[in-house]
Structure 1
Amino acid sequence: MLTQLSIRDYAIVDRLELDFSHGMTAITGETGAGKSILLGALSLCLGERAESGCVRHGCERAELTARFDLSQLDTARAWLDARELGSSECLLRRTVSANGRTRAWINGTPCTLADLKTLSELLIDVHSQHAHQSLLREQQHQLLLDEYAGVTGQVAELRVLYKEWSQARKRLKQAQESGSEAQARRQLLRYQVEELNHLALAEDELHHLEEEQTRLAHAEQSRHQAQVALHCCSDDEQGATARLIQAKGALLELPGAHEGAVANAIALLEEASIQLDEAGDELARFIDGEELDPERLAFVDERLADVHRIARKHHVMPDEVVALHTRLAQELEQLDMSDDDLEALSVKVRELRDQWRTLAQQVSEARTAHAEELAQQIQQQLSFLGMDKAVFEVSINRRDNAQPEGMDHIQFLISANPGQPPRPLHKVASGGELSRISLAIQVVAAAHSTIPTLVFDEVDVGISGATAEIVGRLLQELGNQGAQLLCVTHLPQVAAQAHRHVHIEKQQHDEAMLTHMSVLDEGGRVKELARMLGGVNLSERTLAHAQEMLTGGQRPARH
């Protein structure tokens, strides 16, 4: 239930705070006084789009807040709990800056307008004077019947199943159409993978093969060069070892050979002789180990040639052949599995179809079971509204093709005059009749709504006199049954039936014209009803008539 609405710097409102309670609240005022401002501010709190022009002239931003009691709204509390937004109450806040930028909060937490709008649909239901236009759309007929029959949740599930079913059918069709292409691709892949399997190139093998090829191809040259080096080191007469011995002997014959620079030179020659011996040993071992293997070299050359040939064939680098092998093998495996997947997809399509049909049949049965009852209740309201000769029907026919909401084609039919068969609304109803039909349907829909707060925005347009009084009584009855109704009306017969009465007027403040809203006491209500009855100049007779109307409107309804 809406408990409070706060408005700041919105349109021609500077600051306003209104408290609301159970029952029916009438909202009245002269044309242009600002009744639309109240509903506009509430709509912004509920997530409707905002324009920069809604900010009061000279102000930086407008700020709007709506507070709701959630004691009767389990669905709203569950929605808030699921998002950890707290659910003891619901506070919706919206700001609109002068440049058009808006921000929104739910219980103090920033939110998107989509979330705000989703939550608002669980909090409040708005019935506008333009609702009769939507009645001309058959989709609206189905929505109203579904809500009356209590199957809106099942219909939402139907839409989900239908979407999944449609997507599965599309995937199945694509899989079937691509079957021949897949078979050709499978044959090519099988040949390519078998060729790569035969090559059996291991990870890092290419690098080792290239190193081995380099070594084997230069083995003979390496041995020759090593032998030349060994000869230079160890030749008995010309080798480096013999020359070192000769140099050392020459130094030892010098006087003082064991002192000073000569001694140091002799020591270095001895060390060089040792290292030269060790170098000779290493070269000898290298020569002994470096064997020529022309057969291994031929094998390595051939294997490298195979790798490069396959790389060229697939337009990849040689070092990408292993990754290519893995990728093609995986694709082949997927295609080999596709036959099994095709069968699984076919089974999935059948399962979704059967689930949808079963639920659609349950929904259809519920619609059929409640259609006549709904028609009777709407016809009863039409009788109250002066169309006692009208015949109203809810027609349900089976569609040829499945639809997201089921197999039912639902139409509201009416015969406004005796002797004429019921026909679709848009073919028979005049403007005035359509307005009353819309009101009758909205009253019935509101009585079965799970949302306790209902807004009626001049739904009484096009009626007057005794019919207007009946409309007021119908709305009052909804309030007596526990609903909260906010009714913007221009009819005194309707306003007189309300439990509370909010008056909206423009007042001059300094050089600005501002909207003022106030809850009227009994005296104020009489004056406002008299204004609605007789205009600006209120006579005693008009005031007495207004008092009588208010007194009669507050009496318990007679059944």
Structure 2
Amino acid sequence: MLQTLTIRDFVIVDQLNLEFDRGFTVLTGETGAGKSILIDALSLALGARGEGGVTRSGCDRADISASFHIAGLPDLQQWLDEHELPSDDQQLLLRRVIYADGRSKAFIGGMPATVQQLREAGEFLVDIYSQHAHHSLLKTSYQRQTLDLYAGQSALAGDVAQHFHAWHALHERRLAAEQNAAAYADELAELRDQLRELGQLAPVADEWEPLQQEHARLSNGAGLIAGGEACRQILSEGEYSVMPQLSALQHKLQALVELDETLKEAADTLDSAIIQLEETDRSLNRYLQRTELDPERLAEVESRIQALHGMARKHRVRPEELTELMAQWQQRMAELELMVDDGQLAQQEKAAWQTYHDLAQRLSKERQVAAQRLSALISTEMQRLSLSGGRFEVALAEQQASAQGLEQVEFLVAGHAGTVPRPLSKVASGGELSRISLAIRVVTAQQGDIPTMIFDEVDVGIGGGVAEIVGQLLKQLGQERQVLVITHLPQVAAQGQQHLRVSKRQQDGLTLSRIDPLSANERISEVARMLGGVDITETTLQHAAEMLAKA
């Protein structure tokens, strides 16, 4: 759940620190006070697209941080682990900094992140519903997803889609094989010849560079031997070699050390140098003992290099890429053999179809059960929302097999008793759509796993007793989720367990917005303002107090 929200220099907010409780929180305020600023700021912290102009006038950046309690969200924990992002298993901090020039930075748990990662993390934490979000209900894809979520079969629906695509890919390959059988057979024959030729050469991975090095050594064998012997002449074997002279110097210096200890460092350095030179001499001697001219091996290496180079030039690749080319040909040949063998490809296609169809039928049965239950529950909620006699129906129409399954899902509604349910998009007005949307949220709340739901003035277009019922439903929803609602209705505001008020003030010629939690008496005044407008009478205050007491 959302625990805190900190906003700095955002639009008309200079500094804001908010703490949120569980359950149902309402946010109210006069028109133009900036109630939606909270939603806009939180959306940016959750990875929404940022634009210039959101920093407060005269400031170089806006800074927004949101902390969440994340215990009990294993999918989010797994996502954080996969992306190597920090988490203490209890709390997660999301932060967004937006500069006046439009640039932005994102942080998760104090570590730099991408905006896309913010957005992905936010999808585990918060659902935001605005007035316009109701229109998503009109899309059949959203209706299908809602049903599958309610049925608890979202994972099965994903498997159905995956296996449909797998079957379709095999189906397309089989059709292509039938249409291009002759071309595939010719390509397969050519590949077999090329692989046979390349197989005879038998290129080995990573052999090219060692061959080049060995060739350089063998072709320069005489020079290497002569050079090594010359080095040993200088070191120890020649008439005026270095080692005897250094040995004499060592004895002379040692005698001087016995007269003056300060020369010991110089003597030690000389001793170390002599040891190193002796090891160099021994190393050169070992090299010369095992090195000899080998014209036969040189000829073998040169022949191998020429063969690899010739094959590589023939197929327009580098010599070191021959093994990769061979693997590519083998893979392509396996694909062609499958395509040429219509029977084997057809068997795979049939098996893939059967797997898909079995899963799709399972999904259909689950959808049928869930559709009946969801239809009845939402119809019941419609009665509470002054849609008396109205009926909601989840229709499942058989359709050609697709990635979505074997049926089309569509929400139908009858606004009055005796009318035939018709598609939601054709019969629902804005107010009806708002109420039906809320009914769906309430009914499906237990099936979701996102802990926080935010409604931005979704109660527009309703009032009176319906507004009170909407408030009750939102409060009921708050028993399952943390619910935050921006509202202009006193009937809804009265139902809140936590009440925040947005107001504006003038400071140094600037308009600033603030949000304050309200006490019990302050709530009475605010609900009275929502009821009575500018002039608040004693009667209005009593009405507000009764409304809050009843809630």
Question: What TM-score does the superposition give when structure 1 sets the normalisation length?
Answer: 0.72
Q: Deviations over 1:96-155 (max 9, x none)?
A: 111111111111122222222122111112222223211211111111111111111222
Find the structure with the greater CA-based Rg. Answer: 1
Does the alignment pair 1:138 with 2:140?
Answer: yes
Spell out, residue by residue over 1:48-89, the C-alpha distance to the aligned partner (whole angstroms, 9 max, x if none): 101111111111111111100012322222222333332331
Secondary structure at 1:134's aligned position in 2?
helix
Against the structure 1 CA distance between its residues 154 and 511, is the aligned structure 2 distance closer, same or farther, given a 3 Å change threshold? Answer: same
Corresponding residue for 1:421? 420
Offset of residue 8 of structure 1 = 0.6
Quick one: structure 1 residues 330 and 470, their matched pair in 2 at CA, closer, same or farther if it must change by over 3 Å? closer
* Counterpart code for 1:142: R
* TM superposition shift of 1:337: 7.1
Secondary structure of the 2:511 match is strand
Cα deviation, residue 347, structure 1? 4.0
Unaligned 5+ runs, structure 1: 200-306, 554-559
1:527 — aligned with what?
Answer: 525
Q: Which residue of 1 aligns with 2:66?
A: 66
Distance 1:478 1:328, change over 3 A: closer
Contact 2:528/2:540, CA 8 A, preserved across alignment: yes
Give the corresponding residue for 1:97. Answer: 99
Distance 1:166 1:346 in 2: 12
- Bigger CA drift: 355-364 or 143-152? 355-364
The aligned counterpart of 1:352 is: 352
Corresponding pairs, count: 443
2:388–2:417 Cα contact (<8 Å) kept: no
Cα pair 1:22 1:482 within 8 Å, conserved: no
Deviations 1:17-38 (A, max 9, x none): 1000111000011111111100
1:134–1:345 CA distance, 2 compared to 1 (3 A): same
2:214 aligns with none
1:371-390 → structure 2 map (5 Å cutoff): 371-390=371-390
Match of 1:478? Answer: 477
Q: What is the SS of the residue equivalent to 1:387?
A: coil
Residue 503 of structure 2, aligned match among 502, 505, 517: 505
Aligned to 1:163: 165
Distance 1:70 1:331, change over 3 A: closer
CA gap 1:390/1:334 in 2 versus in 1, 3 angstroms:
closer
For residue 101 of structure 1, what is the amino acid of its counterpart? R
Counterpart of 1:42 in 2: which secondary structure? helix
2:188–2:337: 8 Å Cα contact kept in structure 1?
Answer: no
> Cα distance 1:347–1:97, how it changes in 2: closer, same or farther (>3 A)?
farther
- Is 1:488 matched up with 2:486? yes
Secondary structure in structure 1 of the residue aligned to 2:53: helix
Report whether the alignment pairs 1:57 with 2:57.
Answer: yes
Cα deviation for residue 340 of structure 1 reads: 4.0
Local SS of the residue matching 1:125: strand
The 1:94–1:420 alpha-carbon spacing in structure 2 relative to 1, beyond 3 Å, is same
The whole-number CA distance in structure 1 between the counterparts of 2:99 and 2:327 is 60
User: SS at the partner of 2:483?
Assistant: strand
**For residues 332 and 66 of structure 1, what CA distance do their matches in structure 2 show?**
54
Q: Is the 8 A contact 2:446 2:480 kept in 1?
A: no
* CA shift for structure 1 position 177: 3.2
Cα separation, partners in 2 of 1:397 and 1:330, compared to 1, 3 Å: closer
Alignment equivalent of 1:338, drawn from 307, 312, 336: 336
Q: C-alpha distance in 1, partners of 2:9/2:392?
A: 47
Matched residue of 1:100: which SS? coil
Show the 5 A alignment for 1:125-524: 125-186=127-188, 335=333, 338-340=336-338, 342=341, 345-400=345-400, 402-479=401-478, 481-524=479-522
Question: Residue in 1 aligned with 2:303?
Answer: none
Conserved? CA contact 1:193–1:329, under 8 Å: no
Cα separation, 1, equivalents of 2:35 and 2:456: 9
Paired with 1:474 and 1:352, the residues of 2 have a C-alpha distance of 46
**What is the aligned partner in structure 2 of residue 256 from structure 1?**
none
CA distance in 1, matches of 2:494, 2:123: 29
* Amino acid paired to 1:505: S
Distance 1:349 1:531, change over 3 A: same
Residue pair 2:442, 2:476 contacting (<8 A) in 1 also: no
Indicate the SS of the match to 1:526: helix
Deviations 1:350-377 (A, max 9, x none): 3332222222222211111111111111
348-357 vs 12-21, which moves further = 348-357
Query: With structure 2 as the length reference, what TM-score do the two structures score?
Result: 0.73
**Contact between 2:382 and 2:391, CA under 8 Å: does it hold in 1?**
no
CA offsets 1:353-411 (integer angstroms, 9 cap, x no match): 222222222221111111111111111111001112101111112212x2222112111
Measured in 2, the distance between the counterparts of 1:380 and 1:329 equals 64
Moved more, 157-166 or 486-495: 157-166
Query: Alpha-carbon deviations, 1:317-363, whole Å to 9, x = none?
Result: 9xx99x99x98999599548732465654444333322222222222
Deviates more, 1:524-533 or 1:333-342: 333-342
Cα RMSD (Å) of the superposition?
Answer: 3.5
Q: Decide whether the 8 Å contact of 1:447 with 1:478 is kept in 2.
A: no
> Following the alignment from structure 1 to structure 2, what is the Cα–Cα distance between the partners of residues 195 and 29?
82
The answer to whether the 8 Å contact 2:188/2:336 transfers is no
Deviation at 1:493, TM superposition (A): 0.2
Q: Secondary structure at the match of 1:62?
A: strand
Question: Does 1:47 pair with 2:47?
Answer: yes
Indicate which of 108, 111, 117 corresponds to 1:115. 117
**Are the equivalent residues in 1 in contact too, given 2:65–2:95 (CA < 8 A)?**
yes
Shift in alpha-carbon separation, 1:417–1:315, aligned structure 2, 3 A: same
Q: 1:333 to 1:384 in 2, by over 3 A?
A: closer
Partners of 2:541 and 2:195 lie apart in 1 by 99
Q: Gapped runs of 5+ residues in structure 2?
A: 202-305
